[in-house]
């Protein structure tokens, strides 16, 4: 599979006076990328432009340097799993996937549909009508139709919605496999643990804007100015609390009388990592343990959303 790179260059999209996507620039390469953002952040609009069914109001979206919009050649490389339910409830799963294989003009549409349905483990229900499927099954059949032409790029809008835990794990495995094969896989989600579990790389959108980009830990590290919380164990917690609060890098200290746990809120990650060992050394206090209490993507995300 030759590597495919999607480039979004200063892209905006507005609907009347609603700016859904605002001056976004990003590059999406092979492997799995998570597009993270709360509802209404502009994820679906961006995916629509990446897939080539929505025109940017400004800027360009290209796949390996070729404009995506109005370019049927490019569509052959892209598979899209839209958020919306397909309105083809009267078709069987087989007919639905086969129709997509035929639309792509594949040489052997039947073989392609068979392969795609097997990939998502839906052969057992392929003779039943899509309208009778559970939400998770509909999601899988949409996935089969997106995969029917064996695309190098796979775009999925909120693919885990409505899936039960087993289906979710199955889809995660499938996407990991797609990423490992060198495909460019982008999925959107507002559920932080999904993104954290699956994506090597994340792009964060908030209110139409591109809020952050990179590895989850890198993004966290970039945000050195937000408050960070730590739990500390030392040879003299009370003495350390007093010494830390005397410095401006510490926003708050809390020494729990009952449990003896010292928690500290630092204003800046970098300043605090420099301050703590110095203060401890000067006061002759030994540090036994320093652990961050807010490592979760949830805390990073709520920080981005608030800012």
Ligand X SMILES: Nc1ncnc2c1ncn2[C@@H]1O[C@H](COP(=O)(O)OP(=O)(O)OP(=O)(O)O)[C@@H](O)[C@H]1O
- Interacting residue ranges for ligand X, rule: CB under 6 A: 15, 18, 20, 37, 39-45, 190
In the bound complex, what is the minimum distance in angstroms from residue 55's beta carbon to ligand X? 12
Q: What residues form DSSP beta bridges with 264?
A: 230, 253
CA dist., res. 10 & res. 25, Å (int): 5
In the bound complex, what is the minimum distance in angstroms from residue 50's beta carbon to ligand X? 12
Nearest CB to ligand X, comparing residues 28 and 41:
41
In the bound complex, what is the minimum distance in angstroms from residue 94's beta carbon to ligand X? 29
Nearest CB to ligand X, comparing residues 30 and 82:
82
In the bound complex, what is the minimum distance in angstroms from residue 48's beta carbon to ligand X? 8
CB neighbour list of residue 92: distance below 8 Å, 6 or more residues apart: 126, 127, 128, 129, 130
Nearest CB to ligand X, comparing residues 45 and 77:
45
Nearest CB to ligand X, comparing residues 98 and 195:
195
Q: What residues form DSSP beta bridges with 27?
A: 7
In the bound complex, what is the minimum distance in angstroms from residue 15's beta carbon to ligand X? 3
Nearest CB to ligand X, comparing residues 49 and 98:
49
In the bound complex, what is the minimum distance in angstroms from residue 166's beta carbon to ligand X? 24
Q: Is residue 255 a contact partner of residue 243, using CB atoms and an 8 Å limit?
A: no
Our CA dihedral for 81, 83, 85, 88, rounded to 10 degrees, sits at: -30
Q: Is residue 37 a contact partner of residue 45, using CB atoms and an 8 Å limit?
A: no
Q: Is residue 93 a contact partner of residue 122, using CB atoms and an 8 Å limit?
A: yes
């Amino acid at each position: 599979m030759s590597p495919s790179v999607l480039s979004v260059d200063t892209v905006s999209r507005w609907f009347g006076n609603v700016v859904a996507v605002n001056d976004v620039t990003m590059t999406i390469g092979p492997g799995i990328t998570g597009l993270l953002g709360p509802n209404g952040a502009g994820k679906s609009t961006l995916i629509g432009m990446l897939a080539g069914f929505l025109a940017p109001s400004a800027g360009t979206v290209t796949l390996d340097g070729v404009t995506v919009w109005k370019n049927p050649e490019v569509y052959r490389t892209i598979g899209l799993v839209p958020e919306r339910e397909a309105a083809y409830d009267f078709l069987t799963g087989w007919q639905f996937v086969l129709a997509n294989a035929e639309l792509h003009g594949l040489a052997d549409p039947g073989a392609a549909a068979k392969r795609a349905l097997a990939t998502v483990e839906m052969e057992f229900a392929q003779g039943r009508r899509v309208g009778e499927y559970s939400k998770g099954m509909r999601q899988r059949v949409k996935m089969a139709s997106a995969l029917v032409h064996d695309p190098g790029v796979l775009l999925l809008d909120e693919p885990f919605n409505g899936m039960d835990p087993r289906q979710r794990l199955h889809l995660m495995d499938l996407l990991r496999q797609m990423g490992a094969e060198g495909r460019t896989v982008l999925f959107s989600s507002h559920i932080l643990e999904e993104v954290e579990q699956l994506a090597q790389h994340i792009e964060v959108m908030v209110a139409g804007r591109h809020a952050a980009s990179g590895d989850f830990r890198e993004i966290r590290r970039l945000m050195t100015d937000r408050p960070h919380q730590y739990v500390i164990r030392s040879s003299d917690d009370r003495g350390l609390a007093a010494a830390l609060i005397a410095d401006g890098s510490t926003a708050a200290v809390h020494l729990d009388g009952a449990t003896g746990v010292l928690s500290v809120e630092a204003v800046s990650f970098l300043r605090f990592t420099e301050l703590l060992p110095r203060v401890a050394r000067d006061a002759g206090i030994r540090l036994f343990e320093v652990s961050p209490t807010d490592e979760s993507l949830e805390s990073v995300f709520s920080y981005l959303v608030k800012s």
